[in-house]
Amino acid sequence: MRPVKNAAGQYHVCFVCTEEVKLLPRADGEGGDLEFVGVDLGIESLAVLSTGEKVGNPRWFENEYDRLRREQQKLSRKEKGSNNWERQRKRVAKVHQRIQDRRKDFIEKLTTRLVENFDVIVVEDLSVKNMQQNGNLARHIGGAGWNQIVRRLRDKRKWYSRTLVIADKWFPSSQRCSECGYVDGKKPLGRRSWTCSECGQHHDRDVNAAKNLSRALADPNSST
């Protein structure tokens, strides 16, 4: 088995394990109703759960942006191909690798916690590429790792016999009142809370969306 060297000069070795993964017990215990959770992925909060919990966004890229820019500027002043250029290239690569490692570690812990505590997890089908066409949000969306979160949930639901539901992208999670079900129309992204014009219930936009997602199986516009 040969180690693989990455751009930062670090060596990695992969091991293949054949041990079977032990299935997790039902989150609610045997005999009760399944534990459902809706997960609304975002930028201000990386994930908002239908339980009301908000998981903060560590903003890995933004926190390293100034350092990365300085290291890239130093690299641009070196003669390409020289020893100094190669050393500086590795410094830039190490900053990128640190961002990736921290994002991966956080997402692994978050997704493991979700599959351990809930039997059915519902997320929205997000068109990340289309959303990144918004120049003001592209960097923030790319750095949030939404696709990575969904991908790890897909893997872990197979391992641990959980259910992952991907709600259709047209599912009106942000438009529907989670209290009475009235669809109150589209709302600009900057509007973080609203009051239902039908029943008068005041909503936190993200928590309301997560609650609606948790009930997506009862809606025809959802898929597993």
- Contact (Cβ atoms closer than 8 angstroms) between residue 153 and residue 166: no
Give the whole-angstrom CA distance, residue 119 versus residue 32. 11
Nearest-5° angle of CA 11, CA 96, CA 67? 130
Q: Cβ–Cβ contacts within 10 Å for residue 96, how many?
A: 16
- Contact (Cβ atoms closer than 8 angstroms) between residue 52 and residue 40: no
Give the whole-angstrom CA distance, residue 170 versus residue 222. 9
Supply the residues annotated as catalytic.
Answer: 40, 124, 206
Backbone torsions φ then ψ of 150, nearest 5 degrees: -65, -40
Alpha helices for 77-215 (secondary structure H): 83-117, 128-131, 138-144, 146-160, 205-214
The residue with tokens 């973080």 is 192
